[in-house]
Every structure is written in C-alpha cells, then in structure tokens.
Amino acid sequence: MINTALVSYGMSGRVFHAPFIDLNPDFNLVGSWERSQKNIQARYPHTKSFDSYEEILNDPSIHLVIVNSPNDTHYEYTKRALLAGKHVVTEKAFTVTVAEAEELDALAKKLNLKLAVYHNRRYDADFLTIQKLIKEDAIGEFLDIQISFERYRTTLSPKVHKELPTPGAGVLFDLGPHLVDQALLLSGMPTHIFADLRIIRKVSLVDDYFTLLLYYPTHRILLTSGMVYMQQLPAYKIYGSKGCFIKYRADIQEDELLADKIPTGPNWGVEPENKWGTLSTDNNGETSTQIIPSLAGDYGQFYILMAAAIKHNAPVPTSAKHGADIIRVLETARKSFAEKKIIAL
C-alpha cells in the first residue's frame, strides 16, 4: 500500500483528498500535518496528527505527500518532499510562477519520483460528458467554446489566505486553473491570450473576476469566472461544425462531500435528469435538440491513476509539465491585463 500523508486537513484535505485516499485499497492514509485544530483522527481513527512538516518528511514509511496548502507554499513544500524522497501530489494552482513549476518538474524527473498536479474538475460529470461527445464526433470541429465557473459571494472567503494580496491569491489562481486545465485538454496550448482582470467586490483586495480569451488557429475559447454572478449562465457552450452542446454546471460531488457522504456506490456522482445538457444538431437545414444523459462524475479516478503511476510506472493523472503550461497561461494573462494587449505565447 502507498502510505500517504496530507500537508493540511482543512477543507480540501477533508473533502477532496482524504475520502478518496481512504477508500482506495492501494493507499493507506497515514495522517495529516495539523497546526492548531486536531480533527483527522475523529474521522479516521487509524491516522496520526503530525505536529510539523518535518515529522512527515523524516518518516521513511511515508511514500506520498499531498501538498494541499495555500498556493504560495506549493513550491517550497513540494520541493522539500521531493528532496526527502517522497512522491508528491500538489494541489492546483501548481505554483505561482512558471520557473517554479519547471524546476519542480525537472527535480522530480532527476530523482525518479512521481509528481502530479491535482485537477479534480476534469472528472466532473459535465466535462466527462463533453469529452464523450467529442470522442463520438457529435460536435465536430470546434468553432467557439465558452466555459465559465460562476459564484455569488459578496463577502470574503473564510479561507483568509485566498483573500490576501499574496502571490497566487485571487480568483485567477483559484478557479482559473480549473478552466485553463479543461481548455488545454480540449485544444492544447493557445497561440495568443487576452485577459481582463477586475476587483468588483468593495471588500476585496484581490482579483475576483476574470475573462480570458484563448486564441487558436481555427477557433477561440472564452473563459470567465467571478464572485458576482447572482444568476448563473450555462457553464459550457461548445459550438462545433456538427453540433452545439449547452450545459449548466451541475456536478454534485462537492456538495455530497461537504455533507460527509462517502464517495462510493452506484449513485455516486450521478446528476439529476433535470440538470442534463442539450445537444443541438443540423439535419439538412433543420435544427433538432436532444437531452444528453450525463456520465457520473468521479474524482476517485485521480487516485486510481496515481496509484498506477507509483506502482506500475504509468503516466500520472496530471503531469507537472501540464501544470506548468497552466501557470504559463495564467502568467501570460496577468501580463496581457497589465499591458492591455493580446500576448503571444
């Protein structure tokens, strides 16, 4: 079994990592570094609450470290874990600069260790369904893609580190990695980028809105996110030469995990039918629309793939190189906004 320790047992550790590690028979959840509150043993009695990061790094029985701390600590904690001989999963955003991401990628390869970036939203029901339609050629060649991740929150997040003007803070580096990850999975790296970043909430000190326009030779991808959307619009609008798929963001996994439901069973990740998307197609000049059943979402796929990478040298679910590409897009977006122009990658 892959003995695994978390750097934090806050919201991400409790919701996105520990349940899936604990359920997967290839892993043994050893425990978590807990700085003040000691909570992990109440949920997982067999685990240990570590008082320091050094305890984890100095424990030779621990094979994998999950770096799920604030963004501006990812580089340091990931590097220290690699140098201690541990495989690492680093939460998004991978790092706050491309240089940091590339250094970690090179270090992991040099030490022959597995390094992956945690991108769970590629396993949302919405996006899995879109990938299935693309594989079936139901959409055709891309003409225009619009992806949004909208929230309505007029107050500051209780996660203080997300609201302070530090490297990696703000919605661009919080929700942005999810959207950019999906864009790159659909179309690869863009040729050019244009970005608009804003601070809209009066209480905010960091960007809480962005629009990114990614340029490709044959199409464009528009990414939007923010904290001021009282009524949400469709999260996915995929226009192609054969069809158009429209869907609201409706994956149920995060809500179920927040309610402490165990992520298993035949109904896990299954969306209600009234949340399914619609596919419109042109049949000899007549447009027809059909409801497309959503595939079940499954964040557990990440750790299934991670286990195969560690035990059988299979590819990691999200490579450090891919993580670095995402940071390159976000860095370029900030440059585009600062210079008020389209920037070539």
Q: Evaluate the CA torsion angle 39, 45, 47, 50 in order and state its sign.
A: positive
Task: Please give the pLDDT value at position 89.
Answer: 98
Task: Please give the pLDDT value at position 156.
Answer: 76
Name the average pLDDT for the chain.
Answer: 95
Q: In terms of DSSP H, where are the helices of 65-175?
A: 74-83, 98-111, 125-135, 171-174
Q: Where in the chain is the domain with CATH 3.40.50.720?
A: 2-120+302-317
Cβ-based neighbour number of residue 74 at 10 Å: 27
Give residue 168's pLDDT band: very low, low, confident or very high (50, 70, 90).
confident
Contacts of 312 (CB under 8 A, 6+ apart): none
Task: Please give the pLDDT value at position 254.
Answer: 96
Give residue 230's pLDDT band: very low, low, confident or very high (50, 70, 90).
confident
Give me the half-sphere count of Cα atoms (radius 13 Å) on the Cβ side of residue 195: 24
Give the pairing of strands 64-67 and 27-33.
unpaired
pLDDT value at 160 more than 80: no
Q: Which fold has domain 121-298+329-344?
A: Dihydrodipicolinate Reductase; domain 2 (3.30.360)
Contacts of 195 (CB under 8 A, 6+ apart): 210, 211, 212, 213, 332, 333, 334, 336, 337
- By C-alpha distance, which of 57, 163, 56, 180 is closest to 117? 180
What is the pLDDT averaged over residues 46-74? 97
Assign 36 to helix, strand or coil: coil
pLDDT value at 161 more than 80: no
Task: Please give the pLDDT value at position 270.
Answer: 97
Q: Where in the chain is the domain with CATH 3.30.360.10?
A: 121-298+329-344
Q: What phi-psi label fits residue 188: left (phi over 0), alpha (psi between -120 and 50 degrees) or beta?
A: left
Task: Please give the pLDDT value at position 228.
Answer: 85
Question: What are the tokens at 19?
Answer: 């349940």
Task: Please give the pLDDT value at position 190.
Answer: 98
Q: Which fold has domain 2-120+302-317?
A: Rossmann fold (3.40.50)
Task: Please give the pLDDT value at position 155.
Answer: 79
Model confidence pLDDT, tens digit, residues 264-297? 999 999 999 999 999 999 888 888 999 999 999 9
Task: Please give the pLDDT value at position 231.
Answer: 84
Q: E strand or H helix at 194, and its extent?
A: strand 192-198
pLDDT value at 157 more than 80: no
Model confidence pLDDT, tens digit, residues 108-135? 999 999 999 999 999 999 999 999 999 9
- By C-alpha distance, which of 229, 73, 32 is closest to 164? 73
CA 336 to chain centre: 23
Task: Please give the pLDDT value at position 204.
Answer: 85
Give residue 333's pLDDT band: very low, low, confident or very high (50, 70, 90).
very high
For residues 297 and 251, the answer to whether their CB atoms sit within 8 Å is yes
Give residue 303's pLDDT band: very low, low, confident or very high (50, 70, 90).
very high
Alpha-carbon distance of 13 to 22, in angstroms, equals 12
